[in-house]
Amino acid sequence: MQDLTKEDYLNGQVLLIDKPLEWSSFQAVNKLKWAIRKKFSLKKFKIGHAGTLDPLATGLLVICTGKFTKKITEYQGQEKEYTGIITLGGTTPSYDLETEINETFGTEHITPELIYETTAQFIGDIEQAPPVFSALKKDGKRLYELAREGKTVDIPKRKVHVSAFEITSIDKLNVHFRIACSKGTYIRSMAHDFGKALHSGAHLTALRRTKIGDFNVDNAQDPLVFADILLGSEEN
């Protein structure tokens, strides 16, 4: 990590972070904010991320500091790429591992050929309903709050664009994939809808964001490592 001054961070930096599993995006941003403020004794400091990742997802967070926080909207709008695993044969209310399997389905009819053929239905402009367990708001409340209260919410479908949906390997009921898509695409919803398209059920069991525009997770850093290097250099 290059040595940056207080002025560098205030004038604006783009920091690439590899979000750990079970961390919220807010936690990752907060870790950097705390480290930078401590290092330079800053009382006020602008910092934010360009696109949330669920706690059960890992991978690229683009974090902007200082004056570069104005660029967040621009970065949020760029195409994103993910890899992950869709597990066939069961659905969950959250469409991922946040909740338990609530329904199981037959998978005997599903062949590798059918899996590969079905991806074509999800490429291009598609409509999808966001998961009820999401941070979107309805009537001032987060959808996941309403879902946890057991309330039924009517969520309108939205149009998103998927430029690539590639099956990279199939391991029994675990379908490994790579997806490139527009802002606002829910990979959990794609997993759920993919199961339906196969006349079965499915849910997302792993997700990693690898790219946002030209930014790549290969160049990203663990937030704990970032903090340790930044504050460690203070002691040397």
Q: Which residues are catalytic?
A: 54
Inter-residue long-range contacts of 159-162, CB under 8 Å, 24+ positions, other chains counted: 159/125, 159/126, 159/127, 160/125, 160/126, 160/127, 160/128, 160/184, 160/185, 161/124, 161/125, 161/126, 161/185, 162/122, 162/123, 162/124, 162/126, 162/190
Rounded alpha-carbon distances, angstroms, from residue 150 to 100, 104, 146, 153: 15, 21, 7, 9
Structure tokens at 15: 């920091």
